[in-house]
Amino acid sequence: MRETPSNLTLKPGDTIGILGGGQLGRMIALAAARLGLRCHIYAPEAANPAYDVAAKYTVGRYDDEAALRGFASSVQCVTYEFENVPAKTVEILSSRVPVRPGAKALAVCQDRVLEKQLARDLGATTADFVSINNLEELVQGIATIGTPSILKTRRFGYDGKGQFVIRKAEDAATAWAAVAGSPCILESFVPFLREVSVVAARGLDGIVKAFPVTENEHRDQILRRSIVPATLHPVTARSAIDIATKIATALDYVGVFAVEFFVVGENEAETVYVNEIAPRVHNSGHWTLDGASTSQFEQHVRAISGLPLGATAPTAAKVEMTNLIGDDVLDWHSLMAEPDTQLHLYGKGEPRPGRKMGHVTRFFGR
Amino acid sequence: MRETPSNLTLKPGDTIGILGGGQLGRMIALAAARLGLRCHIYAPEAANPAYDVAAKYTVGRYDDEAALRGFASSVQCVTYEFENVPAKTVEILSSRVPVRPGAKALAVCQDRVLEKQLARDLGATTADFVSINNLEELVQGIATIGTPSILKTRRFGYDGKGQFVIRKAEDAATAWAAVAGSPCILESFVPFLREVSVVAARGLDGIVKAFPVTENEHRDQILRRSIVPATLHPVTARSAIDIATKIATALDYVGVFAVEFFVVGENEAETVYVNEIAPRVHNSGHWTLDGASTSQFEQHVRAISGLPLGATAPTAAKVEMTNLIGDDVLDWHSLMAEPDTQLHLYGKGEPRPGRKMGHVTRFFGR
């Protein structure tokens, strides 16, 4: 079979291009290195955590066609560490080199309405939602969905940014002013007991392998802690993984992705609601770096390189990953001295409030 | 306490200088990155596996004083991945920045006579040996030590290079011609049952932590396979670790090192003979990358940075590391698909006979 962009596989010595140079790009590059693959980072920032561990980096804007063409010609495959890659960037690169995951997955995951609609179409449960394009639709939406509900921009939201809680119908105008007229989604409030996520990979051959379901705790809308295994009935866990598998298959997805779920109800009534799909390696999968047979970063590298996916079993009875946010990182020295603990620092400069500076993984029963 | 070169500790964001850019330097750099430390590689080769994963590299000769001074001024600490670093290089660097392990350890480990003498002085068992400087001393040495015995150059030997077996007294002239007049050591042949090694670290605070004793199999005088745990009586294992600890303490050593032993006799008669000391991370410790709480590479980074050493417990009942030498690496695709296996490739180009291209770690009972 002739190699085409859609089935091209990488071999040791080849170069992966990564859009974005933050900690996720850095950890992808470190995983690629273990497999003898080189990385070339492309990002607009002059300094970036990933630059320090990559064979090459290019500082360029995501709309700089000439720079993107040069980048594409130096790599065998392109991936990205963030979901807000402009469609046009992917279009420019795709004509020259495989971009994995592809444009279709990116388009759906960049839009909360398309994302939830896909989940619904595949038979998954989600919050009730309506698409909102103006104040009238918002007023109508609140009447349909009720309160409390949440207005979110359809695009470019992360870590709780671009989200507004609507407690009563009268909040409509204030909320609409706050989103400054961006296309939005209005979602019913889901009275969840906990949040969980499925981090999984789909290979070029269509095989999907999921890591065990992870339980996630947020603080100030930023992931604070992930615990494996999640407190979840095995049947519910199986169902969450099934939904993630269906989503990846429907998107013809290649690479690692995460599906975030709300857990509602207990025992027989336990149900998972799809909340978000992230078309990339995910913070709730960082525990796999030390706690699973294959890390999510190596799994992503394997998937986008067209190589066989690795095993996803945890290597300890319980694994707990805690983000070091802002000044948390100042404890690095004592964290390093803790037994059964692995510290990861991202090589960022100053700790600022809300900035993810590193994470620490703790093992129980290893 | 004021920080001096001897007690200086590193913090995240600091830079480690590494002399040598092969796979050991590469794996040290990857481990440093996880802790938020940057690496600057210094080596004479234009291309090198470690360059691809380091924040910076300098191509320079080990006797280029100006280049070495520039290198020293850009890092907070210098280490090395090979034991044949010229003493003069260390002297130039040491006047500007801490070099760990230090000059004393390097001097002893570069010389087979000093190395064995130290082991003897500390009460360890070694082969019988004599220092040989000319043919007359060799003839006399063979008469004293007997045959079979082994003539080795005192310095610059590795992977069996610079070694000649003397089967009968008449081999003296041929052997002496073969070493071309280099200062040598003549060692009695040790009828060993197996070879084992202790990989351990000594911190800046003098604390020594050893990984479990590893059993090593060689092929064509190159390490082929390492297995943990070694087939060894617990008392013998304890004694090997005690010897390694004494050696590190005597050398005022800082960093990871390996002591290779021959195992002679069985049951109550089991004894370990010190064969070699390697003042660096060691091939027989590669299994720790995936099979121990802390890898030897991270442990080395911690030690030379003056940070607390990590735990050394294995994370599986049995771990086996196999080097991929030369064409062995062509199996990379099927190795990657094996369960309970972690593949590591070093990013080298062409597989040549005897060239270490990568390794594979297999886990049993994890």
Cross-chain residue pair B333–A51, CB shorter than 8 Å: no
Cross-chain residue pair B347–A38, CB shorter than 8 Å: yes
Chain A positions in Cβ-Cβ contact with residue B358 (cut-off 8 Å): 36
Read off the pTM.
0.96
pLDDT of A275 over the 80 cut: yes
Q: For residue A6, name the pLDDT band (cuts at 50, 70, 90).
A: confident
What is the nearest CA distance from B231 to chain A, expressed in angstroms?
Answer: 23
Q: For residue A179, name the pLDDT band (cuts at 50, 70, 90).
A: confident
Chain A, nearest residue to B49 by Cα: A36
Cross-chain residue pair B51–A55, CB shorter than 8 Å: yes
Q: For residue B159, name the pLDDT band (cuts at 50, 70, 90).
A: low
Mean pLDDT confidence for B115-127 = 98
Cross-chain residue pair B337–A308, CB shorter than 8 Å: yes
Q: What is the pLDDT of residues B270-280, one digit of tens each?
A: 999 999 999 99
Q: What is the DSSP letter of A231?
A: S
Cross-chain residue pair B33–A12, CB shorter than 8 Å: no
What is the nearest CA distance from A295 to chain B, expressed in angstroms?
Answer: 11
Q: How many CB atoms lie within 10 A of CB B182?
A: 17
Residues 6+ apart with CB under 8 A from A55: A15, A38, A39, A40, B51, B52, B53
Determine which of B48, B330, B336, B364 to mutate to test the interface with A (most A C-beta atoms within 10 Å): B336
Please tell me the predicted confidence (pLDDT) of residue B180: 83
Chain A positions in Cβ-Cβ contact with residue B293 (cut-off 8 Å): 339-340, 342
Least confident of A106-110, A157-161, B71-75, B150-154: A157-161
Q: For residue B160, name the pLDDT band (cuts at 50, 70, 90).
A: low
Mean pLDDT confidence for B320-336 = 96
- What value does the CA radius of gyration of chain A take, rounded to a whole number of Å? 20
The tokens describing A298, both together, are 């190596």
Cross-chain residue pair B38–A347, CB shorter than 8 Å: yes
Q: Dihedral of CA B299/B300/B301/B302: which sign?
A: positive
Q: For residue A264, name the pLDDT band (cuts at 50, 70, 90).
A: very high
Task: Give the separation between CA B244 and CA B165, rounded to whole angstroms.
Answer: 27
Q: What is the pLDDT of residues B174-196, one digit of tens each?
A: 999 988 888 999 999 999 999 99
Cross-chain residue pair A333–B307, CB shorter than 8 Å: yes
The tokens describing A86, both together, are 């402009």
Mean pLDDT confidence for B340-349 = 95
How many angstroms separate the Cα of B4 from the Cα of each of A17, A308, B106, B266?
Answer: 43, 50, 21, 48
Chain B positions in Cβ-Cβ contact with residue A344 (cut-off 8 Å): 34-35
Determine which of A30, A39, A52 to mutate to test the interface with B (most B C-beta atoms within 10 Å): A52
Q: Yes or no: say if B160 and B279 are a contact pair by the CB < 8 Å rule.
A: no
Q: For residue B162, name the pLDDT band (cuts at 50, 70, 90).
A: confident
What ipTM was assigned to the predicted interfaces of this complex?
0.94
Please tell me the predicted confidence (pLDDT) of residue B161: 67
Determine which of A336, A344, A355 to mutate to test the interface with B (most B C-beta atoms within 10 Å): A336
Who wins on pLDDT, A181 or A309?
A: A309
Taking alpha carbons only, the member of B191, B244, B195 closest to residue B215 is B195
Please tell me the predicted confidence (pLDDT) of residue B4: 66
Strands B208-210 and A271-278: unpaired
Task: Give the separation between CA B131 and CA B228, rounded to whole angstroms.
Answer: 35
Verify cis geometry, omega within 30 degrees of 0, for the bond prior to A148: yes
What is the nearest CA distance from B350 to chain A, expressed in angstroms?
Answer: 10
C-alpha A277: how far from its chain's center? 7
What is the nearest CA distance from B197 to chain A, expressed in angstroms?
Answer: 24
pLDDT of B1 over the 60 cut: no
Residue B69 burial by CB count (10 A; 0-12/13-18/19+): exposed, middle or buried?
Answer: middle
What is the nearest CA distance from B286 to chain A, expressed in angstroms?
Answer: 12
Residue matched to tokens 């802690």: A225
Mean pLDDT confidence for B77-106 = 96
Residue B31: which H helix or E strand, with range?
helix B23-34
Q: What is the pLDDT of residues A92-141, one digit of tens each?
A: 999 999 999 999 999 999 999 999 999 999 999 999 999 999 999 999 99
Who wins on pLDDT, A287 or B163?
A: A287
- E-assigned strands of B8-115? 15-19, 38-43, 56-59, 77-80
Q: What is the pLDDT of residues A324-361, one digit of tens each?
A: 999 999 999 999 999 899 999 999 989 999 999 999 99
Q: What is the pLDDT of residues A197-253, one digit of tens each?
A: 999 999 999 999 999 999 999 998 899 999 999 999 999 999 999 999 999 999 999
Give the one of B29, B343, B366 whose C-beta lies nearest to A35's C-beta.
Answer: B343
Who wins on pLDDT, B269 or A157?
A: B269
Cross-chain residue pair A307–B336, CB shorter than 8 Å: yes
Q: A70 — phi, psi (to 5°)?
A: -60, -45
Task: Give the separation between CA B162 and CA B127, rounded to whole angstroms.
Answer: 18
Mean residue pLDDT across chain B: 95
Residue A136 burial by CB count (10 A; 0-12/13-18/19+): exposed, middle or buried?
Answer: exposed
Chain A contact residues (CB < 8 Å to B) = 12-13, 26, 29-30, 33-38, 51-55, 293, 302, 307-308, 310-311, 315, 329, 332-333, 336-337, 339-340, 342-349, 358, 366
**A193 residue type, one letter:** L
Strands B163-166 and B149-153: antiparallel
pLDDT over 70 percentage in chain B? 97
Mean pLDDT confidence for B76-81 = 98
pLDDT over 90 percentage in chain B? 91
Mean pLDDT confidence for B245-255 = 98
Give the one of A30, A52, A307 whose C-beta lies nearest to B38's C-beta.
Answer: A52
Give the one of A29, A36, A52 whose C-beta lies nearest to B346's C-beta.
Answer: A36
Q: For residue A159, name the pLDDT band (cuts at 50, 70, 90).
A: low
Cross-chain residue pair B55–A52, CB shorter than 8 Å: yes
DSSP, residue by residue, A25-47: HHHHHHHHHHBT-EEEEEES-SS
Cross-chain residue pair B315–A315, CB shorter than 8 Å: yes
Please tell me the predicted confidence (pLDDT) of residue B335: 96
pLDDT of B141 over the 70 cut: yes
Cross-chain residue pair A52–B33, CB shorter than 8 Å: yes
Please tell me the predicted confidence (pLDDT) of residue B349: 87
Q: Yes or no: say if B247 and B118 are a contact pair by the CB < 8 Å rule.
A: yes
Q: Yes or no: say if B252 and B239 are a contact pair by the CB < 8 Å rule.
A: no
Cross-chain residue pair A347–B30, CB shorter than 8 Å: no
Q: Dihedral of CA A44/A50/A53/A55: which sign?
A: negative
Cross-chain residue pair A33–B55, CB shorter than 8 Å: no
Q: Yes or no: say if A104 and A94 are a contact pair by the CB < 8 Å rule.
A: no
Residue matched to tokens 């004793």: B213
Residue A91: which H helix or E strand, with range?
helix A87-94
Chain B, nearest residue to A363 by Cα: B293
Please tell me the predicted confidence (pLDDT) of residue A3: 63
Mean residue pLDDT across chain A: 95
Task: Give the separation between CA A305 and CA A328, rounded to whole angstroms.
Answer: 35
- E-assigned strands of A24-105? 38-43, 56-59, 77-80
**A97 residue type, one letter:** V
Taking CB atoms and an 8 Å cut-off, how many pairs form between chains A and B?
100
